[in-house]
Structure 1
Amino acid sequence: MIEKNILRSTVVLAILALTTQCRPLQNVANNNNKVQNDSTLYAVLAGEEKYTLHGVIPIKFSVTNPTDDTLKFTQYHTPFEGMMSKFLTITDSAGNDIQYIGAMTRRVMPPPAETYHAVAPGETKSVTFDLNQVYKIEKAGPYTLQYAGGNISGVASGEPIVITVEHGGEANISRTLIIMLSEETSLEAIAEEAASYGADVLYKYNALNGLAVKIPESKSVNEAMEHFKKLQGVVSVSKDQISTIQH
């Protein structure tokens, strides 16, 4: 009889544990939906309801910690590392996937310690990026955005948001380049070369051995790309990849 009671108690506890682990996540997407998740870091996308086709499309990406403990996530596959990977899925009104045209960076695995961000209990970290620079949005209409990088970053995906893109706006040519280097190439040396070329070094990706630079108005973007591609140790040069502001 005692053995049966112990077995029954064990089964009940196992079911309760499984139920707790499988609780659905409900995150803030666009308006004021109440957050129900309380056990892990979760992502929230936010933006305006309407944007213009050729204008900037700023999207805010936030990571919130609803727990009583400090939690960490790696910036891999989040905009905290810049636009270095496809961490969103975007579909149009017909359900077609929108092409990602940004960089696809090869990373060091497991993620180094310097790629991790700590989020204190009850705190939120945010970064804003320009969607139009890394996704091929060519026509007006509604688009659904969903974070999809959680299997790498450790941040749970939130609810999708819907934005509407309308005709209008002025075509914007970004003067920002992402320069990725081989593992043995000195990041500081290439940064110095960029500065002597007249470019502003916006960000150094130490863990990835790359940097973001802004090209001076006196030089064309294509000319600058060819210049940096010829440098020894440069693996790739991409344009229009990063427009981020961390909060």
Structure 2
Amino acid sequence: MKNRSLFLAAAIFLFAACGTAGKHTDSNVLGADTTTSAQLWAKMLIRPEFKLGDPLEMRFTIYNRSSESQQFCKWHTPFEPPMSKYLDITDELGAEVPYMGAMAKRIMPPPADSYITVKPGDSLSVKVDLSKIYRVDKAGRYVVRYVAQEISGVSAKDSVTFAVHQ
């Protein structure tokens, strides 16, 4: 029983230590830990309607609302070529639209060149064609949500919707 208690205590300590390994103490560096990400937030904009087969262009803008430069990891954002699924797109019935892009395995923590700096009070925008990386192949209404906050360090609380017609 004594050995079992000792083993349990050691296991709890080990798992607790693993949970803090990826934490950053520099508040200007944002990566896997999002405790400092309140300063960077993203907004998605998309036209309300598209014709089936047309490009589904969406603008993704990251804002820095702080008085200091902030960094975010470009992994799992449109600021790099499609290397991972960072959006959830669902139809009006809640069914997920299939992701067709690449899925890259990454080393952690991200290297320095994986970060992009946003100046105080500034923003950065990029356009992404969702039809190139998600299979939207039928008419209907769709909801887009950004779901990679834990990797990029960027918060996007709002979703966007669009309709596709024949």
Q: Same fold judged by TM-score > 0.5?
A: yes
Counterparts of 1:63-74 in structure 2 under 5 Å?
A: 63-74=62-73
C-alpha distance after superposition, 1:60-103 (max 9, x if no partner)? 11110011111000101001111111000111000111110110
Contact persistence 2:143–2:161 (CA under 8 A): yes
- 1:115 paired to 2:117: no
2:136: which partner in 1?
A: 137
* TM-score, structure 2 as length reference: 0.76
AA of the residue aligned to 2:44: L
Tell me the distance in 1 between the aligned counterparts of 2:93 and 2:73.
33
Tell me the distance in 1 between the aligned counterparts of 2:106 and 2:51.
34
Contact persistence 2:89–2:144 (CA under 8 A): yes
How many angstroms does 1:158 deviate by? 2.6
2:43: which partner in 1?
A: 44
- 1:160 paired to 2:163: no
C-alpha distance after superposition, 1:203-231 (max 9, x if no partner)? xxxxxxxxxxxxxxxxxxxxxxxxxxxxx
AA of the residue aligned to 2:90: T
Contact persistence 1:42–1:65 (CA under 8 A): yes
Tell me the distance in 2 between the aligned counterparts of 1:139 and 1:131.
14
Unaligned runs of 5+ in 1: 1-37, 168-247
1:149: which partner in 2?
A: 148
Following superposition, which runs of at least 4 residues in structure 1 exceed 4 angstroms of deviation?
A: none
Tell me the distance in 2 between the aligned counterparts of 1:50 and 1:149.
25
Tell me the distance in 2 between the aligned counterparts of 1:124 and 1:99.
30
Paired-residue identity, %: 37
Tell me the distance in 2 between the aligned counterparts of 1:59 and 1:42.
16
AA of the residue aligned to 2:55: V
1:79: which partner in 2?
A: 78
Contact persistence 1:90–1:97 (CA under 8 A): yes
Q: Aligned pair count?
A: 130
Contact persistence 1:39–1:67 (CA under 8 A): no
How many angstroms does 1:124 deviate by? 0.6
Tell me the distance in 2 between the aligned counterparts of 1:104 and 1:85.
5
- 1:94 paired to 2:93: yes
C-alpha distance after superposition, 1:165-195 (max 9, x if no partner)? 111xxxxxxxxxxxxxxxxxxxxxxxxxxxx
1:62: which partner in 2?
A: 61
* TM-score, structure 1 as length reference: 0.51
Which of these two proteins has the greater Rg computed from alpha carbons? 1
Q: Secondary structure at the match of 2:79?
A: helix
1:193: which partner in 2?
A: none
Q: What do you get for the CA RMSD once the two structures are aligned?
A: 1.2
